Structures are given as structure tokens and as C-alpha cells.
Amino acid sequence: MDLLKLSIPTLAKMLREKKISSQELVSFYLERIKKHKKLNAYITVLEDAVNKAKDIDMKGIKNDDPVLRGIPYSLKDNMLADGVKTTCASRILENYIAGYDSTIAKRLKDSGAVLLGKTNMDEFAMGSSNENSHFGPVCNPWNEKHVAGGSSGGSAVSVSAGLSQFSYGTDTGGSVRLPASFNGVASLKPTYGRMSRYGIIAFASSLDQIGPIAKNIEDLAIAYDVVSGHDPKDSTTSIKNKDGMYEYLIKEVKDRENNFSRKTVGIPRDMLIGGCSKDVLNSLEQSKKVLTDMGFDFVDIDLPNSKYALAVYYIIVTGEASSNLSRYDGVRYGYRTKDYEELKDLYSLSRGDGFGDEVRRRIILGTFVLSAGYYDAYFSKAAKVRSLIKKDFEKVFEKCDSILMPVSPVTAFKIGERTKDPLEMYLSDIFTVSANLAAVPSLGFPAGRDSRGLPIGMQLIGKHFDEKTLFTTAWMIQKQKPEWFNNIATTVKEKKVIE
């Protein structure tokens, strides 16, 4: 029995029928984590997860228990879990132990899911390749010489390499969708306000959003359902009723598929000119053909202000980051230098030694764009253009129900290939940041592989709080192209990927 090929609903059924125990399932994943340690997907592995699984088995799993009871998962290391080390992949929080649960950790704990550990990431979620971690880069399991994508690279690899059943990352400008794309798994950046950020270490508060990562659309829907919804501890969460996405897919879409009202999908052709690889563009056309064959209509759309999205994003995100990270001062918690004479030396030396290059770069840029004399020229103007980008999406959604486009213009590049040129690295986010700026949902799905065998990802962008359309469309793609989903990478040697 190949456990790696099984979905959450199948595993849940097996656990209830006692065909497998939670302890066996958790032990299986912990052994794989040890076997594939060189991928560097985890910062902290919780060996006592076996004991928690054993306790679940002793108490038993009933039919009416939450579907995730006894199922193992992982969390990005910027999400607090009570009593567990939470580092944000930074030296400045290298030994920080969380004193309480984030809302996501609490909801997962209440569901009975078993936490395997905390995954590696770009430091403070700042990066597109997962090379900016204090604990070293995460390797892509399809080819270990290539990047995993960032900033949630460890979370994506934990699913792609079969080191957890599902996982969660954070998406500020593409940090869930990009690594999922590079690793051949599904992901979701929900509408801003759909999931609570309480207990998530902040990067850019107006952009940060939690997102699930899974092998297939049904697992993604279950992972979405358990943590979404209003949270009184986070005033930015919406009071809108959340959808029971998995139940909707199974009961509504499956039963009424023949009578399902097909939607109109837009493609922003102007954004794709000149930047995409041939393999990525071919994959886009394949995805379009799949939907066309099922009766979906397509229109070309224009998002005129999206050409400014990357510049707007990096002004806003650095400004908010410089403010959020001012709390790490070497006084209250975290890394503290021993070699100082005056208070200002304590601050500067602790922050200089504790933060990595990319974090320091963004703090400096953010401090600049927020400073007197430059705020109006940069941050204020960027906020105004952000409003225009949001209005572009609202206008486009008057004539289409969702937007189809690549997650990235290229597939996973080699480790070290872009680290010397920050601007080239930032261009990795060119297709993802717009959804964050407009606060709309985006679902990433695997769409085949390039000529070297590396995964390609597409994304569906939808209207505010219309995750239902995205899940439905992706579910139908999965039914037509099952070979794109449920693929588990192990190592480059086993897969024989062409470099």
C-alpha cells in the first residue's frame, strides 16, 4: 500500500476502519523526514508527534469526528504553536519558544490533526527561493540543485516529497503559490480576511495571508475548511460565512456536474508578452484547452496597472516590514549581542547580527520610503496605485468569473543563480503580487512539467470571497488531468531529472 498516493478522505476512512493507525501514519512520515533530511524542509521536527498519535488511537476515531483527526501535517515556521520553537528562519529568533497557539494551530489542534514539525522558509518570509534562511536553503526534490521557491519552500517540499500529508504557508506576494508551483503541488492564497493572522509573525500586515498546500484539490479544500472563518482575535477577518468547500465539491459539483453552469475565464495576454518560457506558455495553452473542452468560455482581458504591481508591492511591503520588525531590538526577546557599551549599540549590533542580508535590505528600503520627505513620493503614491490595481480587477470581473495565468514565468532555477541580483529575484513574483495587492483569492495548481522534468504551476484568480469558483474549476481540471496531481517527488537520483 502506497500511503503517499492516498488522499485525506481515504486515509480518514482507513483510520476509522482501523486499517491503519494514526501512530503508524505519523511514524511513516517521521521516517521519511529523516530519510530526506538533506532537502532541509524542516527546521524543527516534533518526535513526540508519535505519542500524540498513540493517544488518538487509544481514544479511538469515531465516524463523526473531524476528518483530520489523526492526520499528520506541517506548519511554516512563522506560525506560533504553544511550546514549540518558532524561529522565522532567523538568527534573531533562533531559540524563541512560542507561549501560545496561533489561531491556525489552535483550530488544527481542535480538529485532531497531528503536527509533525515547523518547516523551513525565507527569513521572515522575505524571499522567492528559500535561500534566505538562517538554517540554509531548501532543495527542490525534483532536482536538488534547484530552488524550492519561497518563502514557504519548506512547506511545499514537505508535501511534494511526501514529508507531510498537507501543510500551510503564508502568502504576502506569492509565497505559497510560487513554491507550490516549483514543487508540483496545489495551493491557495485566500481572500484577505478569510483566514486569521492571529499568532502569525507579521511581515507586511496588509498583505500577509495564510494558505494551505496539498497534493490535490480535495485535500486542499479540507485544509482550507478547517482554518478559515472569522476570528474575534483578528479584526481583519471577515464575518462572511465561510463555505464548506469540500462538502460543496463532493455533494454539489460531483452530483450536478453535467448540469453545472460553466464560467467565463479571462487571460491577461499583455502581461505574458516577453517574459514567459516556452514551456510555461505551452502549459497555459494546455490548461486553457482542458477548460475549453469542458465548455468554459475564454476572453482576453487587460489589467493596465498591473505593470506597476511589482514596484508598488516592494514599496508597500518594505515599508510595512520595517515597521513590523522594529520590535526585534535585542531587549525584550530574541538574539541579543553581548558586545555593546551604549543602548544604541545594543540595538544596532543585535539587529545587524540577528538579521540576514535580505531582511536588512528590506528594512533599510522600508525606512527610506516611510521617512519624512519621501513618504509622499513613494509610499503614499504606491498606495494610490494599489487602489487602481484593485479597481482593474473589479472591472475585469464584470466580464469574466476568474483569471487563468502562470504562477511564475519560469520553472525552478538553480540554487545561487539569482542571489547576486535582488532585482532579478524580485521578478519571480511578477505574476503573483497583483492578487495580494487587490486582496483577491488565487488558487495554484500543478499543470505538467517542463522539458527538464521540473513542475509548472498555473493559477486561477477570482473575485473577493469567491473561492468556490476557483475550487470548482480546479476540481474539474483535476478530473480531466489526474496525471498533473498527486505526484510525489523523492530525490533527483530516483527521478532522474535532466539538469
* Residues catalogued as catalytic: 76, 151, 175
| Parallel/antiparallel/unpaired status of strands 42-45 and 114-119 | antiparallel
- CA-to-CA distance for 457 and 478, rounded, in angstroms? 13
| Parallel/antiparallel/unpaired status of strands 442-449 and 186-189 | antiparallel
Residue 41, classed as helix, strand or coil, is: coil
Whether 71 contacts 29, CB under 8 Å: no
If one counts every other C-beta atom within 10 angstroms of the C-beta of residue 324, the result is 18
For the chain, helix (H) and strand (E) counts, in that order, are 18, 13
Nearest CA among 199, 122, 116, 124 for reference residue 158: 116
CA distances for 37 relative to 3, 34, 120, 158, 452, angstroms: 19, 5, 12, 11, 24
Contacts of 366 (CB under 8 A, 6+ apart): 317, 318, 319, 320, 321, 322, 323
* SS3 letters across 205-254: CCCCCEEEEECCHHHHHHHHHHHECCCCCCCCCCCCCCCCHHHHHHHHHC
- Written as nine digits, the cell of 15 is 483510520
State how far Cα 432 lies from the chain centre: 11
Is the bond preceding residue 235 a cis peptide, omega within 30 degrees?
Answer: no
Whether 71 contacts 111, CB under 8 Å: no
DSSP labels, 104-129: HHHHHHHHT-EEEEEE--SGGG--SS
